[in-house]
Structure 1
Amino acid sequence: MTDLVEAFHTALRLIVTIDPQLIEIVMLSLQVSLLAVLLAGIVGFPLGAALAVYRFPGRGLATAALNALMGLPPVVVGLVVYLLLSNAGPLGVLQLLYTPAAMIIAQTVLVVPIIAALSRQHCEDLFEEYDEHLRSLGASSREIAATLLWDGRYRLTTAVLAGFGRAIAEVGAVMIVGGNIDHVTRTMTTAIALETSKGNIALALALGMVLLATSVAISGALMGVRRGARRFAYA
């Protein structure tokens, strides 16, 4: 018990004194996860809206597959990305393996289905309300999809939060493609796993507290922006 209390105090000291090693790991984690969510949003939002609006053979199967992909095993994604980026893989010439770029790719693959599936559901709900009105105005399917995304932008904050939560907490995929290299690809989650196995509980605790605080802070910030924007829109 004494060792645990001492480790907790040491962890707090690392945070309060802004330990350089701690900050380096935290900043890399945020850079990788935020970029992954941004890229996933660029792909996922239009994909979800398209599935909500367009009618085509196999749409139900595509929707079911998208929902199933929300539960993609991270280690499988990591393995697939590893095989693609390895020297023997089709993208090996890019030399991205064991770099932050490889970690961003892996996290993007994991987050796209989440954002796309949640976007599809939100847009489909709105589509049921607006379909007749938009069709009467002569809007094309592409215009309808864009309108649904814009009108549902506040609801879609939930998709962004879910995607960020998946990205920032990821361990398996980024460990495989990033290698957990010190000063290069070490993120909060991989560092926590490593430091815990080494017995360095203080640093692991510090990273765990920062990880939790970061998730809460970003979630709170997005929710605050959502509420503020809605008040402004209806003012």
Structure 2
Amino acid sequence: MEIFLNGLRQALALIMSLDPSLIEIVRLSLAISGLALVISALLGLPAGLFLGLKDFPGKRMVVALVYTGMGLPPVVVGLTIYLLLSRQGPLGDLGWLFTSRAMIVTQTILALPLIIGFTMTAIAAIPSALIMQLRSLGATRRQVVLTLLYEARSGVLAALVAGFGAIISEVGSVLIVGGNIEHKTRVLTTAIVLETRKGNFSLAIALGIILLTITFSANWLLLHLQGHLDPRQQ
């Protein structure tokens, strides 16, 4: 218990002092996960919208694959990306292994099924009568899409927060493809593993507190926005 309390006191001191090493790790973590989330959203929101609205042959199989992807083991994703980007792999010429690009690709793959799945469910819950009403009023396809996304805003926000929470807290896959290289690919989760192994518990605890703060803030923001966007929650 004493080692935890001492580590906690030192961790808080590190955070309050705005230790440069902490700031660098946090900045890199947010940059990598933030970019991965943007890419996932650009791909996942249209895909979720399409799956939520359209019926086509093989849709059940596609939906099953999406749900499977939502529970995809991150370490398996990391291993697959590693093999693809290794020197002997088909994408080895890119030279992305042990770079932030490999981490972004990995995190995008992890977040994408979550965003597609949550968005698809939210869109499918919208009454079909609304779509028919919009079309009868002469709404363009773009107007219909924007209206549906607005109606499903709580689900879309949940999709984005779920995706961000999954990738910002992931360790196994980013450790495999990123290598935990200082100043380049060392993020919050991989740094926690490293500092714990080194016995530097104060820094590990400080990083853990920051990671928890980020994930809590993301979920608090979700609840706050949902409360403002949905009158029933006010």
Q: TM-score, normalization: structure 2? A: 0.90
CA spacing shift, 1:22–1:224, aligned 2, 3 Å = same
Q: Gapped runs of 5+ residues in structure 2?
A: none
Matched, 1:130 2:116: no
Amino acid at match of 2:17: T
Aligned residue number for residue 51 of structure 2: 51
Aligned residue number for residue 205 of structure 1: 205
Query: Taking every aligned residue pair, what percent have the same amino acid on both sides?
Result: 45
- CA positional deviation for 1:141: 7.2
Amino acid at match of 1:156: V
SS of the residue aligned with 1:186?
Answer: coil
* Aligned counterparts of 1:65 and 1:218: Cα–Cα separation in 2: 27
CA spacing shift, 1:209–1:125, aligned 2, 3 Å = same
C-alpha RMSD over aligned residues? 2.0
Matched, 1:21 2:21: yes
Aligned residue number for residue 93 of structure 1: 93
- CA positional deviation for 1:132: 3.2
Aligned residue number for residue 33 of structure 1: 33
Deviations 1:51-74 (A, max 9, x none): 111111011111111111100000
Alignment of 1:1-235 (within 5 A): 1-137=1-137, 144-228=144-228
Deviations 1:159-183 (A, max 9, x none): 1111111011100110010001111
Q: Gapped runs of 5+ residues in structure 1?
A: none
**8 Å Cα contact 1:74/1:170 also seen in 2:** yes
Amino acid at match of 1:153: R
Q: Out of 22-31 and 84-93, give the one that drifted further.
A: 84-93
- CA positional deviation for 1:139: 6.1
Q: Out of 220-229 and 120-129, give the one that drifted further.
A: 220-229
CA spacing shift, 1:139–1:91, aligned 2, 3 Å = farther
**8 Å Cα contact 1:126/1:152 also seen in 2:** yes
* Aligned counterparts of 1:230 and 1:205: Cα–Cα separation in 2: 37
* Aligned counterparts of 1:72 and 1:174: Cα–Cα separation in 2: 14
- CA positional deviation for 1:228: 4.1
Amino acid at match of 1:211: L
* Aligned counterparts of 1:44 and 1:157: Cα–Cα separation in 2: 12
